Amino acid sequence: MAAPKKPSTPTKTTAPPDPMPPEAGAGIAYHQALNPAQLEAVRFGDGPLLVLAGAGSGKTRTLTYRVARLVEEGVDPRSILLLSFTRKASQEMLQRASLLLDARCRDVAGGTFHSFANATLRRYAAVIGFEQGFTIIDRGDAEDLIGIIRKEMDPPGDGRQLPRKSTLATIFSRAVNKQRPLEDVLYDDYGHFSDMVDTITTIREQYTRRKREHHFLDYDDLLIHLHLLLTEYEAVRQRLAAKYRYIMVDEYQDTNPIQADIVSLLADAHHNVMVVGDDAQSIYAFRGADYQNILDFPKRFQGTRIVKLEENYRSLQPILDFTNRLIESADAQYSKCLFTRRHGGLPPVLVMTAGENAQSRYVVREVARLRREGTSLDRMAILFRAGFHAFDLELELNRAGIPFKKVGGFKFTESAHIKDLLAHLRIVAAPDDQLSWRRVLGLIEKIGPKTADRIFAAVRAHSQGAGGLLSAPLKMKNQAKLQPLKDLIGALTDAPEAVARWGELVFSYYLPILRAKYDDHPRRQRDLEQLLAIMARYRHLDDFLSDMVLEPPSTAIEDGLAAAEPTAECLTLSTIHSAKGLEWDTVFILWALDGRFPSMRSMEDPDDLEEERRLMYVAATRAERELHFTCPVQIFDRATQSLLCDPSRFLDGIPENVLRRENYPDW
DNA sequence: GTGGAAGGGTTTTTT
DNA sequence: ACCCTTCCAC
């Protein structure tokens, strides 16, 4: 049970040095910083360009240098649009480009598809019939609204129930993202509900109608409306195409048909479009992404130049030997084989453990060992398929006193107390927001959904915004209960627009409610204080509220630690989806157990199974030096009533010299 | 109408 | 573990 040893001599990295600010007046040293393929992409002039970038091949570096290069050549930074997967990723690229060149690079327009859609739609809101603006609703809000409609519908009558609200939301979203009729999605993916197609269609019509009534846009609507704006309003499309003369898209393999269309529409006039991605790392099929999208790019744009980045700068050779093998045995033929000049190190290890808790103890033991040997916790990550897969490990890490942050899974802004506080601000910002009124009023004793809706209707009829609550005619017994809330709204509407001040007013109103409602209120109160700190960074309430939906802080703990002790080192726990694009010295992949990874559900459909394999590939290629898989055995699977005992089928047939096997504890 | 308690059926991944 | 429904007391 020898654990992988650190290589005795530090491995020499052949990766180009990190970008440094150029000497005053000197140009950027492209030749020293980039390999020939990267250089070709960076120096590519006008026209369509497809960069197929393997894992760890310097994709971000290439995009960063190309931005700097364009700006250096005199392109107006505001005419460059850089769409990437997370806002953090695009900010980092622009920051690095600024270091290479100068601060002009910060003026590059960038963000996620959704944040770009938000910004654009705000500018053209009147064109698409949102004269009074709009509120972006997150998944939870969407489900609440669907839940209200669902409850109003007649039950099917045969004793069965309609799909739960979260399932309905998934069905509706899938139909949009895959651009398929609702009926087809139901028939293919939810066969057991396909006979309710009429009722479900009605629910969706109602959902669409009410979103419009309340000026709500959900995540999908942002893309739909942007697409609509570009297709239906030729003048707008021309203006946007003239404004953004260079389009760049990161992680193009994860775009869905609407997003790919949006890119085409924007680039149609000039064809100056560069997309970067890796078909082998496409892991968002569940929301409509199709790796075929990136392979079809040259068909959309005639004369596309294709550049392949195949040299890996991240991982040691034994890790690449393994990951190449993993992706080679895929059914689909992906387009590359990676190589590296980083030698040394041991092959990855697969560790069989006697159950889930043994898995957790193995990870804790190894993390402690690595730390003793000098690896910072910041350089290690634990990756897993789904958020709840790490629950047991979290307990063990707490017991061992190892600090960690968890990324992915449940979000800060999804917890009830955060949503409560935001709802108070939302009714002021958007008085038509019935969902937020329900939430705010429902917090008051003896007010439930019915009373809340009545009060909402009265306020709305008064059409004075949230202040309508102060003058709307209400029943006497409601008047008294509502007095504190009225005082709050009065204070909010009187105070000048200062986001942080409003946050404090709501906080002091909400604190007694929080204390009465939750036993664990001290922890939640700390979260709220974090939220207030975040609010202080904003000048406009609308921006704050939009950001909380589009790019919420990934974890409460992360921000807590970052704020309190920015230097404290910290282990990362992450879903594989949230780990995309990141890298660590040492990576642990949990639950490499057939039935968990791949999951039972994915085994019926070859396409789903392929995506699981790509997911494992993404996880494994995050590692630079050490890679551990753990496989707890004898796990009972309730869905199939069977005992799971075998390692992931993706690891079958990989020889011992590529993947070592161990048992923990020895048995 | 509200609020609490009890019991049966379902659990990925993200903007 | 959580959602959703149902049932019952106020």
**Per residue in A34-82, pLDDT tens?**
999 999 999 998 999 999 999 999 999 999 999 999 999 999 999 999 9
Dihedral of alpha carbons A419, A423, A424, A428, sign: positive
- The answer to whether the beta carbon of residue A452 comes closer than 7 angstroms to any atom of strand B is yes
Lowest-pLDDT range of A84-93, A155-164, A170-179, A197-206: A155-164
Q: Give the tokens for residue A411.
A: 């979000």
Task: Name the residue with higher pLDDT: A119 or A355.
Answer: A119
Distance CA A55, CA A621 (A): 6
Q: Which of A659, A609, A571 is nearest to A383 (CA)?
A: A571
Q: How confident is the model at residue A172, as a pLDDT?
A: 95
Instruction: List strand B contacts in A 499-538 (CB < 7 A).
Output: none
Q: Which residue has the tokens 């898995």?
A: A359
Q: Is residue A340 within a helix (H) or strand (E), and if so which, with residue range?
A: strand A339-340
- Check whether A12 has a pLDDT greater than 50: no
**Pairing mode, if any, of strands A349-353 and A109-111?**
unpaired
Q: How confident is the model at residue A642, as a pLDDT?
A: 78
**Pairing mode, if any, of strands A635-637 and A642-644?**
antiparallel
- Check whether A223 has a pLDDT greater than 60: yes
Q: How far is CA A556 from the centre of its chain?
A: 15
Q: How confident is the model at residue A158, as a pLDDT?
A: 62
DSSP E strand boundaries for A59-213: 80-83, 109-111, 135-136
Question: Could you tell me how many residues make up chain A?
Answer: 667
Dihedral of alpha carbons A153, A209, A180, A414, sign: negative
Strand, coil or helix: A231:
helix
Average pLDDT score over chain A: 87
Active site positions of A, annotated: 59-60, 250-251, 281, 622
CA A446 to C1' B4, in angstroms, rounded, equals 13
Residues 6+ apart with CB under 8 A from A231: A237, A265
Q: How confident is the model at residue A157, as a pLDDT?
A: 60
- The nucleotide whose C1' lies nearest the CA of A150 is C4
Distance CA A428, CA A468 (A): 11
pTM of the model: 0.89
Q: How confident is the model at residue A636, as a pLDDT?
A: 78
CA A90 to C1' B1, in angstroms, rounded, equals 50
Strand, coil or helix: A559:
helix
Q: How confident is the model at residue A9, as a pLDDT?
A: 38
CA A277 to C1' B7, in angstroms, rounded, equals 49
Backbone angles phi, psi at A380, to 5 degrees: -125, 150
Buried b (16+ CB within 10 A) or exposed e, A401-424: ebebbbbbbebbbeeebbbbbbbb
Per-residue pLDDT band for A19 (boundaries 50, 70, 90) equals very low
In strand C, the nucleotides that come within 7 Å of a protein beta carbon are 3-6
Instruction: List strand C contacts in A 118-147 (CB < 7 A).
Output: 143, 147
Q: Which of A231, A267, A262, A223 is nearest to A247 (CA)?
A: A267
- Check whether A577 has a pLDDT greater than 80: yes
Q: Which of A296, A289, A273, A297 is nearest to A81 (CA)?
A: A273
- The answer to whether the beta carbon of residue A622 comes closer than 7 angstroms to any atom of strand C is no
Mean of the pLDDT values across residues A589-603?
91
Q: How confident is the model at residue A192, as a pLDDT?
A: 83
Buried b (16+ CB within 10 A) or exposed e, A593-616: bbbbbbbeebeeeeebbbbbbbbb
Task: Name the residue with higher pLDDT: A160 or A325.
Answer: A325
DSSP assignment, residue A23?
A: P
Mean of the pLDDT values across residues A526-532?
88
Task: Name the residue with higher pLDDT: A337 or A542.
Answer: A542
Q: How confident is the model at residue A377, as a pLDDT?
A: 94
Percent of chain A whose pLDDT exceeds 70: 92
Instruction: List strand B contacts in A 613-642 (CB < 7 A).
Output: 638-639
How many H helices and E strands in chain A?
28, 19
Per-residue pLDDT band for A5 (boundaries 50, 70, 90) equals very low
